[in-house]
Amino acid sequence: MRVHVADHPLITHKLTYLRDKRTDSPTFRRLTEELVTLLAYEATRDVRVEPFDIETPVAPTTGIKLSNPKPLIVPILRAGLGMLEGMVRLLPSAEVGFLGMQRNEETLEAITYANRLPDDLRGRQCYVVDPMLATGGTLADAIRYLADRGADDITAVTLLAAPEGIKAVEEALADLDIPINLVTGALDERLNDKGYIVPGLGDAGDRLYGVV
């Protein structure tokens, strides 16, 4: 997996306010959207494009446009929804699929409890969005789910990542021979014994949407 830590000062500045426990939910949601737009800029560096002929008021020229099939953005429910708007703002013609995944704590198997995705993802570039790469279990399962349906280029976009999570995703997906990328706003120190990222920002879903 190719890992890119997007440690631009503006990203780190916004992340600092996001991490702060005094930041309320409306501000947290707004900062998340702003951060995702900045991360999406990095994450789409290799988005597929094709030549596109146009005429300016002065002369004909050839630019580029996004290729078909258009990229697919896949937020992992629930916290990934908070990142969707920022992604779509940068990629308005992308399609959006949804994946709800939860771990069965006894078997450690991922349960897919919601899925609104095309069955056939052959030739698709996919952008999986989930704020926290913690243990890596859900992200690894989501990437495999997309790869099994034919996605041939997958980029995960996270606000924060833990070293343990990156290692776990790399190990779990070692057999996949498609490009897999991670773009994250910061690489934090570690996981604590409850699986939270340290220093992290707490529970991203709760901070976005409250405790339900």
Q: Which residues bind ligand URA (CB under 6 A)?
A: 79, 132, 134, 195-197, 200, 203-205
Alpha-carbon dihedral of residues 138, 141, 146, 152, nearest 10 degrees? 110
- 19: burial class by Cβ within 10 Å (0-12, 13-18, 19+)? buried
- Residue whose CB is less far from ligand URA, 11 or 139: 139
CB of 143 to ligand URA, least distance (A): 17
CB of 71 to ligand URA, least distance (A): 25
CB of 91 to ligand URA, least distance (A): 24
d(CA 159, CA 177): 25
- Residue whose CB is less far from ligand URA, 18 or 43: 18
Beta partners for residue 199, in sequence order:
none
- Residue whose CB is less far from ligand URA, 79 or 156: 79
Task: Please give the DSSP secondary-structure letter assigned to residue 85.
Answer: H
d(CA 134, CA 199): 12
Alpha-carbon dihedral of residues 85, 91, 94, 100, nearest 10 degrees? -30
CB of 204 to ligand URA, least distance (A): 4
- Residue whose CB is less far from ligand URA, 158 or 181: 158
CB of 198 to ligand URA, least distance (A): 8
d(CA 121, CA 11): 31
Helix extents (H) in the chain = 9-19, 25-43, 84-90, 137-148, 163-172, 204-209
First to last CA, the chain: 34
- Residue whose CB is less far from ligand URA, 91 or 183: 183
- Residue whose CB is less far from ligand URA, 100 or 195: 195
CB of 12 to ligand URA, least distance (A): 18
d(CA 194, CA 56): 57
- Provide the residue type at 120 as one letter: D
